[in-house]
Structure 1
Amino acid sequence: MTTKTKLLFLCTGNSCRSQMAEGWTRHFHGDSLEVYSAGIEAHGLNPNAVAVMSEAGVDISGQSSKLVSLFSDVPLDVVITVCGHADENCPIFRTEAKVIHVGFDDPPKLAREAASPAEAMGHYRRVRDEIRDFVRDRLRSSMG
C-alpha cells in the first residue's frame, strides 16, 4: 500500500484561495494526495468561494477555516503558500516539508473594489480558474 503525499495549502485567512486549492486538489488528485488547507489566521469559509466552486462542480461547503497550528503534528510533505502574506510568514514545520510559493490574487480584496456584484464575482471566477489550472496542470511538477 502506497502512502499518500500530505499537502497543505496555506493562506492568510484560509477563507478563499487555499480552500479552492484544497477543493480542486481533492477533485483532481484525491486518490494520491492527502490535502489540507489552513491559514495564519482563520477567517471562516468565504460564501462566494463556495458559490463559484459549486458552479464548477466542486463542493467545498463542508470544508472549514483552520489555523495552521492544527497541523503542527501532521507529517506534511509539501506546503504551498498561495498568498504573499502567508509566504512571508510561513511557520517552520517540524517535518522536512518542501515549501513552495504559488501566489494568486485575493478575490475578496478585488471584489471590494469592483463596480458591481457581477464584476466582483468575476474576480472569484478568474482566480478559481487560475487555481484549477495550476492544480490540474502544474501541481505535480511543482512538487518535484
Structure 2
Amino acid sequence: MTDKIRVLFVCTANAARSQIAEALLRYTNSERFEVFSAGTQPKSVHPRTYEVLKHLSIDTSDLRSKSLDEFEGEQFDYVITLCDKAAQECQTLPGAGERLAWNFEDPVTSEKPDAFRHTLHEIHERIKMFVLVKTRS
C-alpha cells in the first residue's frame, strides 16, 4: 500500500495535455504523488508532446497512450480532466475521489504558433500550484 497521493489526468485523446500533465507532476514531485493519465478516446502520443517535455529534460520513456478502461477498479485521490469534453464524460467515473476540471486548449488542433510550449507552460503553472496546496502539512 502506498501513502502517495494517486492522481489520474484525463483528456480525450491522451495524446498531449494529459501526457504533459502526467510527466510534469511526476517530475515535480514523484515522492508524494503516484501519477497516471488516460484518454476517453485514446490515440497515440503526439510527437510534439515528447519534444516539449524533452526540452525540459523530462523523461518521456514511460509515456504511452492509455484508455480509461485500463484503470477500471482502481482508486484515485484526484481525477483531473484537462478539457471540457473529458469533464463531461468522466462525471460518473468509479474510483474517483475528488474531481477537478481544468480546461486547456488542445495543442494538437491549435492554430497558434508554439501551442505545445504554451500548453506545457500553462499546465506546469497549474501543477506547481496543485502540489503546493496538496502537500501543505
TM-score by length of 2: 0.90
Which stretches in structure 2 are left out of the alignment for 5+ residues?
A: none
CA deviation after TM superposition for structure 1 residue 42, in Å: 1.1
Find the residue that maps to 2:99 and give its secondary structure: strand
| Contact 1:49-1:124 at 8 Å conserved across structures | yes
Q: What percent identity do the matched residue pairs reach?
A: 29
Deviation larger for 132-141 or 75-84: 132-141
CA deviation after TM superposition for structure 1 residue 55, in Å: 0.5
Find the residue that maps to 1:109 and give its secondary structure: coil
> Is residue 2:136 matched to residue 1:141?
no
Q: Alignment RMSD, CA only?
A: 2.1
In the alignment of these two chains, the number of paired residues is 136
Partners of 1:105 and 1:35 lie apart in 2 by: 21
| Contact 1:50-1:61 at 8 Å conserved across structures | no
Partners of 1:132 and 1:56 lie apart in 2 by: 11
Q: Which amino acid aligns with 1:124?
A: F
Find the residue that maps to 1:97 and give its secondary structure: strand
Question: Which has the greater radius of gyration?
Answer: 1
Between Structure 1 and Structure 2, the one with more helix by share is 1
TM-score by length of 1: 0.86
After superposition, give the CA deviation of every residue in 1:12-70 in whole Å (9 maximum; x if it has no partner): 01010000000000001110111000000111111101101100111224311000111
Q: Which amino acid aligns with 1:55?
A: H
Question: Residue 106 and residue 143 in structure 1: after superposition, are their counterparts in 2 closer, same or farther (change >3 A)?
Answer: farther
| Contact 1:12-1:39 at 8 Å conserved across structures | yes
Q: Which amino acid aligns with 1:6?
A: R
Question: Residue 131 and residue 103 in structure 1: after superposition, are their counterparts in 2 closer, same or farther (change >3 A)?
Answer: same
Which residue in the other structure is 2:119 paired with?
A: 127
CA deviation after TM superposition for structure 1 residue 142, in Å: 6.9
Which stretches in structure 1 are left out of the alignment for 5+ residues?
A: none
After superposition, give the CA deviation of every residue in 1:112-133 in whole Å (9 maximum; x if it has no partner): x35xxxx2xx111011011111
CA deviation after TM superposition for structure 1 residue 143, in Å: 9.3
Which residue in the other structure is 1:68 paired with?
A: 68
Structure 1 runs (4+) deviating above 4 angstroms are none
Which residue in the other structure is 1:19 paired with?
A: 19
